[in-house]
Amino acid sequence: MKHCDLVQSGDWKGEKHVPVIEAPAKVKAGERFEVRVSVGKEIPHPNTTEHHIRWIKLSFKPKDDKFPYEVAHFDFCSHGEAVAGANQGPSHCEPFASVQMKVSKPGTLLALSYCNIHGYWESSAELEVE
């Protein structure tokens, strides 16, 4: 089975599992900028013990390079678990994160997320460099 057979994608405005990448469309080479990644921006994703986003990974694939480079990996570990029972815990994470980064050439930002019930989801955003 190939990786592409395991990963789903779609429009995040109509599918609550697709990771959203928020970043400038154009940045200056070597200058810091912020990238925000999330799941459930338009349609909230459940955040329960039984159904949650476990992690989001952000990578950058420079144009004309063969491989992407991992930028950040965000784990969301608290989903209401407790000794008292499912969803009785005092803490819940929401699948939203940000990172500051720099690039030296254009490429593609790639986000991969994992839902404990519905598997892997991906999205991408092009990044221009001036």
Among the listed residues 15, 81, 92, 93, the single catalytic one is 15
Number of domains in the chain: 1
Reply yes or no on whether 81 is catalytic: no
**Mean pLDDT on 99-126:** 96
Give tens-digit pLDDT for 75-112: 999 999 999 999 999 999 999 999 999 999 999 999 99
Sheet containing 19-22: give its strands across: 19-22, 33-39, 96-101
What's the CATH number where 79 sits? 2.60.40.730
Q: Residue 57: which of 21, 10, 100, 6 has the closest Cα?
A: 21
- Whole-structure pTM over 0.85, yes or no? yes
- Show the domain range for 73: 3-129
Give tens-digit pLDDT for 18-29: 999 999 999 999
Among the listed residues 81, 93, 94, 118, the single catalytic one is 118
